[in-house]
Chains A and B, each alone.
Chain A
Amino acid sequence: MNFTLKIWRQKDAKSKGEFKKYEVKDISSDTSFLEMLDILNNDLVHKGEEPVAFDHDCREGICGMCSLHINGHAHGPEQGVTTCQIYMRQFKDGETIVVEPWRSAAFPVIKDLVVNRGAYDQILQAGGYVSVRTNSVPDGNAIPIAKADADESMDAAACVGCGACAATCKNGSAMLFVAARVSSLAKLPQGRVEGARRAKAMVAKMDELGFGNCTNTGACQAECPKSISIAHIARLNREFLSAKLED
């Protein structure tokens, strides 16, 4: 298969970027999207040009490192997968594919398609944890947890922190990401203990970092590679508001 790629190139955070066109030829349909970029990059290196910088690591859809806005979709046209799980058979032969970095004020571009997602780390550092010390814990079976609760907690915990939610949201809102963590811990008795504190701290940090306001479009859940439901956003709203009303 052959493709024309329109890729965003930007030297560094300060430079102005632009789209550049590349042609890739004889790509097997079983090639993954990122392998296709590897092939392009290897060609560029041979020509003495700088390869396209993009984030990636595990290539199994779990580390959350890969990003890319492909033809208008975060993580490409397929639903429920990350960019590294996109295969070229999902595109038409001869197609022009537009590849852009995440666009969100809170995720500044570092180079080409690589952005800085440190803001997500900062939100979790503000309260995305259970404050237990190593070793001062009860037996694992001392706290029974209903299977349904554990399952729902796990649904939210599947978040890989890739940033697709904020990158997709027309408001640049990080609500799905924040909600996934808050909701996952709120469903478990261990996490409930400091639930109010957590919700307030994480929302405050999210606001401070300049993420937008959620307007319930649901675009985030549509583009989330782990299909995390906005029901978790509802739970975050509930957690936050009841915490605030108690103040």
Chain B
Amino acid sequence: MALKLDSKIPAGELAQKWSNHKAAIKVVSPANKRKLDIIVVGTGLGGASAAASLGELGYNVKVFCIQDSPRRAHSIAAQGGINAAKNYQNDNDSVYRLFYDTIKGGDYRAREANVYRLAEVSNLIIDQCVAQGVPFAREYGGLLANRSFGGAQVSRTFYARGQTGQQLLLGAYAALNKEIHNGSVKSYPRHEMLDVVIENGEARGIIARNLVTGEIERHGAHAVVIATGGYGNVFFLSTNAMASNGSAAFQCYRKGAGFANPCFTQIHPTCIPVHGTQQSKLTLMSESLRNDGRIWVPKKLEDVQAIRSGAKKPSDIAEEDRDYYLERRYPAFGNLVPRDVASRAAKERCDAGFGVNETGLAVFLDFKTAIERLGKDVIKQRYGNLFDMYKEITDTDPYEQPMQIFPAVHYTMGGIWVDYNLMTTIPGLYAIGEANFSDHGANRLGASALMQGLADGYFVLPYTIGDYLSHKIQAPKVDTSTPAFDEAEKAVREKIEHLLSINGKQSVDDIHKRLGHIMWENVGMARTKESLTKAIAEIQALRKEFWKDVKVVGTADSFNVELEKALRLADFLELGELMARDALNREESCGGHFRSEHQTEEGEAKRDDENFVYAAVWEYKGMDAEPELTKEPLNFEFVHPAQRNYKD
């Protein structure tokens, strides 16, 4: 049976939809809120802000994270900033323009209503964060400063040095602490959700593992919120944190929640290139660098050879021998084209043989012009910490020589399917932030992830969850001794025991690296029918190998990192295949999804608006069975999809 997808998008004018919806949905009285329990899994911007706001409203909240403190969630690593339609710069920005840029940046594969709501609440986020004491950058007059970001022609990005994500997360974490202090939220650090419990078709709680003691715990609630971020680590090498994983989202999928657009992966253009086979993590250099940095490769192949061999330094290449390919191809946006466009353009140059490091997989990001124009001090003030970071990692001084950068997996636009209320196809189960699929379409603009996480957590979910919970005010506390909890716990225990009993020859990391390689080569920046078919077969084989040959040392009832990694990899091995299947199904190029068969003569992504204006929602049918596809058509009532043009 196919999934029933009711997006619950309210009727009416675009700008009125959210107001109308808020007026129409039900609320829960304070006395009843006290009787209702909510579980929030994940403490990034989405999870922390949601848990704090729900606690403030009076619900009983339990919040879980796998790290030793809620403050460690990977939202903390976002560098550049957060968008908002404040128009403080007087550059004719507006809610509509932010909405339009976002939906266009997403290559017209997101819902209009969701994106408009995101733009609408963006301003509230800035106000909220300022009030919490987030030290945003300021001008000398004492008012908030802005910078510009890719995919926009206005300056609407608010920032706190190169640590915006950190500061916003510390704000949300502080709000969470306030509620923990007040007793409305209980925090469970070093706990990993291993399953979601469904009873009578509704979410009733989770099974979690205490990562310190190995104990398996049952937690019941009237609603469960998944805020566990994205699954970019399926590629092994990504800019995600080492422990970032897709397992919580995948358990929801396994239990019947639809998973939408899994193939939409963002490859970030400005990362530090891979240096060797033993690398375990890629480092992002903020996109804000593209404000002043110019991206280039040499025009002549002999210069490329000279640079690779060390005969020439990049700074030796004369101006006329440099190919500033983004400025050449996209005059209107130049170096500030969206991420997917910048990444593909870098790949195109490297494929043509112009890659500038020994692996041939790097381009230059050069600040020479900016230093000449603004002086070293200004550049230092703007990007000092990023330059220092680059120097630490690569041992090269970016004030003297250009940075080398290359695209890397960064963010996943796909995720659990949710309706306008952020509820999944399972009643009572919600997904927010990067874990859901809702707002970024096929490509996310810079500084929009922070915006979405906080929008969902502070300003959307606290309202929409009431609509569901208003039907639960008579419901007693969830009993965790029911057969549904028994079964879920039993399954988790069996899975753990099975993993520990295999005792094969390959470590978890060995297999994860191989999966990452298959994914990057075949489901990466450019995908073809052949590569995807090949990937599916290879992943299936690798998965079989995993379940026969993995070696997980240690015990179930102790602190066991290998076991944690094995459990996550088991899910990545299925998720990778799902991504390839989705990419195979989507016979078009859009945003971060580039099918080489579908490109314009100039090598740009070619959408197919006849056949693919839909969200592809997949339903789990078993580990080795093909998932079933249901389409949620996207209706563009207010904007008209056109080929994205960043040229003029």
Query: Do any beta carbons of A and B sit within 8 angstroms of each other in the complex?
Result: yes
The residues of B that contact A61 with a CB separation of less than 8 Å are 389
Q: How far is the CA of A78 from the CA of B509 in the complex (A)?
A: 29
Would you list the 6 A-B pairs with minimal beta carbon distance, nearest first?
A144-B142, A129-B174, A137-B131, A154-B135, A153-B135, A59-B281
Q: How far is the CA of A45 from the CA of B509 in the complex (A)?
A: 10
A188 contacts partner chain B, Cβ-Cβ < 8 Å: yes
Q: Among A49, A110, A138, which residue has its beta carbon within 8 angstroms of that of B553?
A: A49
A51 contacts partner chain B, Cβ-Cβ < 8 Å: yes
The residues of A that contact B52 with a CB separation of less than 8 Å are 134
11 contacts between A and B (CB under 8 A): A28-B278, A38-B509, A51-B553, A58-B77, A110-B559, A120-B69, A127-B181, A137-B131, A138-B127, A154-B135, A190-B133
1/0 per position for B127-159, CB-CB distance to A under 8 A?
A: 111111101111111111000000000000000
Chain A contact residues: helix, strand, loop or mixed: loop
Quick one: which of B185-227 are within 8 Å of A by CB?
187, 189, 212
A140, B144: Cβ atoms closer than 8 Å = yes
A62, B189: Cβ atoms closer than 8 Å = no
Q: Among A27, A45, A89, which residue has its beta carbon within 8 angstroms of that of B395?
A: A89
Q: In the complex, how many angstroms separate the beta carbon of A210 from the nearest chain B beta carbon?
A: 18
Which of B74, B138, B389, B510 has the most chain A CB within a 10 Å cutoff?
A: B138
Q: How far is the CA of A62 from the CA of B86 in the complex (A)?
A: 28
B280, A59: Cβ atoms closer than 8 Å = yes
Q: In the complex, how many angstroms separate the beta carbon of A182 from the nearest chain B beta carbon?
A: 11
A158, B163: Cβ atoms closer than 8 Å = yes
Q: In the complex, how many angstroms separate the beta carbon of A44 from the nearest chain B beta carbon?
A: 8
Q: In the complex, how many angstroms separate the beta carbon of A47 from the nearest chain B beta carbon?
A: 9
Q: Known contacts A42-B510, A59-B280, A62-B76; is A157 also within 8 Å of B167 by CB?
A: yes
Q: How far is the CA of A166 from the CA of B392 in the complex (A)?
A: 25
B299 contacts partner chain A, Cβ-Cβ < 8 Å: no
A126, B181: Cβ atoms closer than 8 Å = yes
Q: In the complex, how many angstroms separate the beta carbon of A116 from the nearest chain B beta carbon?
A: 7
Q: Known contacts A46-B507, A137-B127; is A28 also within 8 Å of B276 by CB?
A: yes
A140, B127: Cβ atoms closer than 8 Å = yes
B241, A58: Cβ atoms closer than 8 Å = yes
1/0 per position for A127-141, CB-CB distance to B under 8 A?
A: 111111111011111
Which of A49, A129, A158 has the most chain B CB within a 10 Å cutoff?
A: A129
Q: Known contacts A124-B177, A140-B127; is A154 also within 8 Å of B144 by CB?
A: no
A101 contacts partner chain B, Cβ-Cβ < 8 Å: no
Quick one: which of B457-471 are within 8 Å of A by CB?
458-459, 462
Quick one: which of A35-50 are within 8 Å of B by CB?
35, 38-39, 42, 44-46, 48-50
The residues of A that contact B639 with a CB separation of less than 8 Å are none
Q: Among A56, A114, A133, which residue has its beta carbon within 8 angstroms of that of B56?
A: A133
Determine the residue in chain A with the shortest Cβ distance to B507: A45
Q: In the complex, how many angstroms separate the beta carbon of A94 from the nearest chain B beta carbon?
A: 19
1/0 per position for B408-443, CB-CB distance to A under 8 A?
A: 000000000000000000000000000000000000
B127, A121: Cβ atoms closer than 8 Å = no
Q: How far is the CA of A191 from the CA of B178 in the complex (A)?
A: 14
Q: How far is the CA of A232 from the CA of B135 in the complex (A)?
A: 16
Q: In the complex, how many angstroms separate the beta carbon of B285 from the nearest chain A beta carbon?
A: 10
The residues of A that contact B510 with a CB separation of less than 8 Å are 42
B83 contacts partner chain A, Cβ-Cβ < 8 Å: no
The residues of B that contact A188 with a CB separation of less than 8 Å are 133, 135
B29 contacts partner chain A, Cβ-Cβ < 8 Å: no
A138, B71: Cβ atoms closer than 8 Å = no
A118, B68: Cβ atoms closer than 8 Å = yes
Q: Among A30, A65, A153, which residue has its beta carbon within 8 angstroms of that of B275?
A: A30
Q: How far is the CA of A30 from the CA of B276 in the complex (A)?
A: 8
Q: Among A56, A144, A161, A190, which residue has its beta carbon within 8 angstroms of that of B69?
A: A161
1/0 per position for B265-306, CB-CB distance to A under 8 A?
A: 000000000011011110110000000000000000000000
Which of A111, A121, A161, A185 has the most chain B CB within a 10 Å cutoff?
A: A121
Which of B53, B128, B189, B510 has the most chain A CB within a 10 Å cutoff?
A: B128
Q: In the complex, how many angstroms separate the beta carbon of A128 from the nearest chain B beta carbon?
A: 6
Q: Known contacts A45-B562, A150-B138; is A132 also within 8 Å of B392 by CB?
A: no
Q: How far is the CA of A51 from the CA of B564 in the complex (A)?
A: 13
A121, B177: Cβ atoms closer than 8 Å = yes
A117 contacts partner chain B, Cβ-Cβ < 8 Å: yes
The residues of A that contact B130 with a CB separation of less than 8 Å are 137, 140, 143, 190
B124 contacts partner chain A, Cβ-Cβ < 8 Å: yes
B541 contacts partner chain A, Cβ-Cβ < 8 Å: no
Apart from A31-B279, A130-B174, A150-B138, what are 4 other A-B pairs with CB-CB below 8 Å?
A: A53-B559, A60-B389, A64-B72, A150-B135
1/0 per position for A80-95, CB-CB distance to B under 8 A?
A: 0100010101000000
A57 contacts partner chain B, Cβ-Cβ < 8 Å: yes
Quick one: which of B19-78 are within 8 Å of A by CB?
49, 52-53, 56, 67-74, 76-77
Q: In the complex, how many angstroms separate the beta carbon of B313 from the nearest chain A beta carbon?
A: 19
B67, A134: Cβ atoms closer than 8 Å = no
Q: How far is the CA of A65 from the CA of B49 in the complex (A)?
A: 21
A245 contacts partner chain B, Cβ-Cβ < 8 Å: no
Q: How far is the CA of A14 from the CA of B73 in the complex (A)?
A: 29
B77, A129: Cβ atoms closer than 8 Å = no
The residues of A that contact B73 with a CB separation of less than 8 Å are 63
Q: Known contacts A135-B459, A185-B133; is A53 also within 8 Å of B67 by CB?
A: no
Q: How far is the CA of A114 from the CA of B189 in the complex (A)?
A: 14
Q: How far is the CA of A199 from the CA of B378 in the complex (A)?
A: 36
1/0 per position for A5-30, CB-CB distance to B under 8 A?
A: 00000011000000000000001101
Determine the residue in chain B with the shortest Cβ distance to A78: B392
A171 contacts partner chain B, Cβ-Cβ < 8 Å: no
Q: How far is the CA of A11 from the CA of B241 in the complex (A)?
A: 26
Q: In the complex, how many angstroms separate the beta carbon of B410 from the nearest chain A beta carbon?
A: 12
A141, B559: Cβ atoms closer than 8 Å = no
